[in-house]
């Protein structure tokens, strides 16, 4: 069971350097470095010190470790996060917590519109199927199947399906 990569991911998500985490957890920088590279195994007490700084309890930390080894996710495993009359958002990598990226599939019915104020800072989108009008703030752009976009979510995002068939957009939030 590898703890290191998950601890590194959590530290980075919290915006901490190894040195800052070590200082706050009352440990050495070298120990944290070894811990993140799985070169040492911490005691439960030491792991709890680190997790307290990262704002995660032991149960939550271990709840998805077994799923971390998984690399392939099938269509059956997707979880519908939001569903409206004319749209559906599916989480493509369910169960895992503390991901740096969150891939979702937005499906819009014919001629439908979807708008959202995303909490993430930035995101990437790829039009899998359809032709869309993408509006960020007051700027409108047309994006077609195979096109992609990269945006900062400072403003409201509005996506409108311009076709008479469902459209699909892969969105990866960071």
Q: Which of the following CATH numbers is that of domain 4-69: 3.20.20.70, 3.40.50.300, 1.10.260.40, 1.10.3720.10?
A: 1.10.260.40
Token pair for 18? 């190894």
Q: What is the mean pLDDT of the chain?
A: 86
Query: Do the domains spanning 4-69 and 75-173 agree at the CATH topology level?
Result: no
Which pLDDT band holds residue 169 (cuts at 50, 70, 90)?
A: very high
Extents of the domains making up the chain: 4-69, 75-173
Element (H, E) at 58: helix 58-63
Q: Cα–Cα distance between 172 and 166 in angstroms, integer? A: 20
What's the pLDDT tens digit per position in 25-60? 999 999 999 999 999 999 999 999 999 999 888 887
What's the pLDDT tens digit per position in 108-147? 999 999 987 765 578 889 999 999 999 877 889 999 999 9
CATH class of this structure's domain 75-173:
mainly beta
For the entire predicted model, the pTM comes to 0.64
Dmax (CA) of the chain: 60
């Amino acid at each position: 069971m590898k703890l290191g990569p998950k601890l590194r991911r959590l530290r980075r998500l919290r915006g901490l350097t190894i040195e800052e985490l070590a200082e706050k957890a009352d440990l050495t920088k070298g120990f944290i470095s070894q811990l993140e590279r799985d070169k040492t195994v911490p005691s439960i007490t030491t792991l709890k010190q680190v997790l307290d700084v990262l704002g995660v309890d032991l149960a939550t930390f271990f709840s998805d470790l077994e799923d971390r080894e998984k690399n392939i996710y099938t269509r059956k495993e997707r979880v519908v996060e939001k569903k409206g009359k004319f749209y559906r958002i599916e989480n493509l990598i369910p169960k895992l917590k503390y991901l740096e990226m969150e891939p979702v599939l937005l499906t819009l019915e014919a001629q439908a519109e979807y708008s959202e104020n995303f909490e993430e800072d930035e995101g990437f989108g790829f039009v899998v199927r359809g032709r869309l009008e993408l509006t960020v703030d007051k700027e409108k752009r047309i994006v077609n199947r195979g096109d992609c976009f990269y945006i900062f979510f400072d403003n409201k995002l509005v996506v409108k399906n311009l076709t008479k068939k469902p459209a699909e957009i892969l969105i990866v939030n960071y």
